[in-house]
Amino acid sequence: MITGIILASGFSNRMKRDKLLMEIEGTPMVERVIQSSIKSKLDEVILVYRVNEVKKLGIKYGVKLVYNPKAHLGQSEGLKLGIKEAKPGAYMFLMGDMPFITEDLINRLIEEFIEDKSNIIVPYYNNKRGMPTIFPYSLRGELLNIEGDIGGRRIIEDNPFLVKKVYIDNCILGLDIDTQEEYKRWDSGDWFSCPRKRR
C-alpha cells in the first residue's frame, strides 16, 4: 500500500499569487500533479489543501481531501495531516508546484521502493536531491514529529543508510516553479539547463 500525499497548502509567498492555480500548457500546476498521481500505480491519493479553488480540483478527480488549518506553521503540518488520513502503508510525498512530474516517474519510484520496502526513495536530478520521495511506514512516528518548513529532509539526512538514490535523466521532471521569473523562464522554454538547487 502506497499513498500519494500531494502537499498543496502553501502560501506561494515568492510568487505573490497562488502559483498552484497558474497554468502550464492550459492546466493549473496542481491539477497536473493530481492527474499524474491518479494515473499512476499509487493505491490512494490525498490532496492537502488550503484554498477552496484547490479543493475543487480535488473534488473533480475524486481524490481524498484534507484541509490544512495550520499551513502557516510550514510544510510539515500538511505532511502530518496527510499521514494521519492515509491507510497503513508507505507514503509518497508530492509537491503541488512540480507540474512536470509524470505517471512514469511516479511508477519508477514505486518500483524502486517495492524492491526493498524498508528504504527511503529519493530521486536525484542533475545529482541534486529532489521530489517526490517515498517513506516506509516504519518511519511514520518520525514523520509525525517533524516541525517547520523542512518536510522530511531531516529524516533523510538522519537515516543515510536507508536512502536509496534514484537518478533521473530528465531533470525537467524535478523542477518546481516558485517565482514569476521562473514561470516566465518556463514560458519562454528556458528550462534546458535545470540550474536550480533542489530540496
In CATH, what number is assigned to the domain containing residue 78? Answer: 3.90.550.10
pLDDT at 182: 64
pLDDT at 186: 59
pLDDT at 179: 65
Whether residue 142 lies inside any domain: the answer is yes
pLDDT at 198: 40
Whether residue 53 lies inside any domain: the answer is yes
**CA dist list (Å): 73 to 10, 69, 128:** 10, 9, 26
Cβ neighbour number for residue 59 with a 10 Å cutoff: 10
Whether residue 115 lies inside any domain: the answer is yes
Whether residue 37 lies inside any domain: the answer is yes
Whether residue 193 lies inside any domain: the answer is no
Question: What angle do the packed helices 103-115 and 29-39 form, to 10 degrees?
Answer: 50
Whether residue 199 lies inside any domain: the answer is no
Tally of structural domains, the chain: 1
> At a CB cut-off of 8 Å and minimum separation 6, what does 11 contact?
50, 71, 72
HSE-up of residue 47 (Cα within 13 Å, Cβ side): 30
Residue 72 is given by DSSP the state G
pTM to 2 decimal places: 0.87
Whether residue 198 lies inside any domain: the answer is no
pLDDT at 196: 46
> At a CB cut-off of 8 Å and minimum separation 6, what does 14 contact?
178, 179
pLDDT, one tens digit for every residue, the chain (199 residues)? 999 999 998 754 444 456 788 888 889 999 999 999 999 999 999 999 999 999 999 999 999 999 999 877 777 888 999 999 999 999 999 999 999 999 999 999 999 999 999 999 999 998 889 999 999 999 999 999 988 777 788 899 999 999 999 999 888 888 777 666 666 665 656 655 555 444 3
Tell me which residue range forms the domain holding 67.
2-187
Whether residue 21 lies inside any domain: the answer is yes
Is 151 in a helix, a strand, or coil? coil
